[in-house]
Amino acid sequence: MRILVTGGAGYVGSHVVRALKRAEHSILVVDDLSTGSAAFAERNGVELLEGDVGDAAFLDSVFSDHTIDLVVHCAGLAVVGESVREPDRYFAVNTVGGFVLLEAMRRHAVTRIVFSSTCSVYGVPDSLPVTEETPTRPVTPYGASKLAFEQMMSGYARAYGFRALALRYFNVGGASTEGDLGDLNASGTRLIPNLLGAARRQEPFSVFGHNYPTRDGTGERDYLHVEDLARAHAQAVARLDIVDPLGFGGALNLGMGRGYTVREVLAEVENQLSETLLVREVPRRPGDPPALVADASLAGRILGFRADHDLASIVRSARVFEERERQPGGLLFERERQLQVQVASGETSLRLGEAVVKAGFVDQEGVDKALDIQRDRDGVGEPHQLLGLILLETGAISSAQLIRALRSIGRG
Tell me: do 350 and 229 sit in the same domain: no
pLDDT at 392: 75
155 lies in some domain: yes
Closest Cα partner for 82 from 123, 141, 146, 34? Answer: 141
Same domain for 299 and 352: no
Domain boundary, last residue among 246, 273, 308: 308
What's the confidence (pLDDT) of residue 345? 55
Q: What percent of the chain has pLDDT over 90?
A: 71
- For the chain, the domain total comes to 2
300 and 380 fall within a common domain: no
370 and 339 share one domain: yes
* 217 Ramachandran zone, left/alpha/beta (phi>0; psi -120 to 50): left
184 located within any domain: no
**Residue range of the domain that includes 393:** 328-408
> Phi then psi for 21, rounded to 5 degrees?
-65, -40
Selection from 49, 52, 36, 61 nearest residue 92 by Cα: 52
Whole-number pLDDT of residue 383: 44
pTM over 0.85, yes/no: yes
pLDDT score at 24: 98
Q: Is 245 within a domain?
A: yes
> What letter represents residue 340's amino acid?
Q
User: Do 301 and 393 belong together in one domain?
Assistant: no
Residues 238-269: tens digit of each pLDDT: 999 999 999 999 999 999 999 999 999 999 99
Does 395 share its domain with 350? Answer: yes
The three-state (H, E, C) secondary structure of the chain, written as one string:
CEEEEECCCCHHHHHHHHHHHHCCCEEEEEECCCCCCHHHHHHHCCEEEECCCCCHHHHHHHHHHCCCCEEEECCCCCCHHHHHHCHHHHHHHHHHHHHHHHHHHHHCCCCEEEEEEEHHHHCCCCCCCECCCCCCCCCCHHHHHHHHHHHHHHHHHHHHCCEEEEEEECEEECCCCCCCCCCCCCCCCCHHHHHHHHHHHCCCEEEECCCCCCCCCCCEECEEEHHHHHHHHHHHHHHCCCCCHHHHCCEEEECCCCCEEHHHHHHHHHHHHCCCCCEEEECCCCCCCCEECECCHHHHHHHCCCCCCCHHHHHHHHHHHHHHHCCCCCHHHHHHHHHHHHHHCCCCCCCHHHHHHHCCCCCHHHHHHHHHHHHHHHCCCCCHHHHHHHHHHCCCCCHHHHHHHHHHHHCC
pLDDT at res. 348: 37
Give the Cα separation of 402 and 132 in Å (integer): 37
- Residues 142-167: pLDDT tens digits? 999 999 999 999 999 999 999 999 99
Q: Is residue 217 part of a domain?
A: no
Same domain? For 369 and 300 the reply is no
Tell me which of 11, 90, 142, 156 is the catalytic residue: 142
Decide if 281 is inside a domain. no
Q: Do residues 300 and 349 share a domain?
A: no
- At position 86, the amino acid (one-letter code) is E
Question: Do 378 and 240 belong to one domain?
Answer: no
Residues 30, 51: Cα–Cα separation, whole Å? 6
89 lies in some domain:
yes
At residue 185 the predicted structure's pLDDT band, cuts being 50, 70 and 90, is confident
237 pLDDT tier (thresholds 50, 70, 90):
very high
pLDDT band for position 339 (50/70/90)? Answer: low
Instruction: Identify whether residues 348 and 301 lie together within a single domain.
Output: no
Question: Does the active-site annotation cover 142?
Answer: yes
pLDDT recorded at residue 411: 52
The answer to whether position 392 is within a domain reads yes
Report the C-alpha gap between 162 and 165 in whole angstroms. Answer: 10
Per the model's pLDDT, the better-predicted residue between 395 and 132 turns out to be 132
Mean pLDDT across 125-148: 96
Is 126 part of a structural domain of the chain?
yes
310: nearest Cα among 225, 233, 183, 398 = 225
Average pLDDT of span 33-53 = 96
CATH number at residue 82: 3.40.50.720
Asked if 144 and 39 sit in the same domain, the reply is: yes
My answer on whether 123 and 164 are in the same domain is: yes
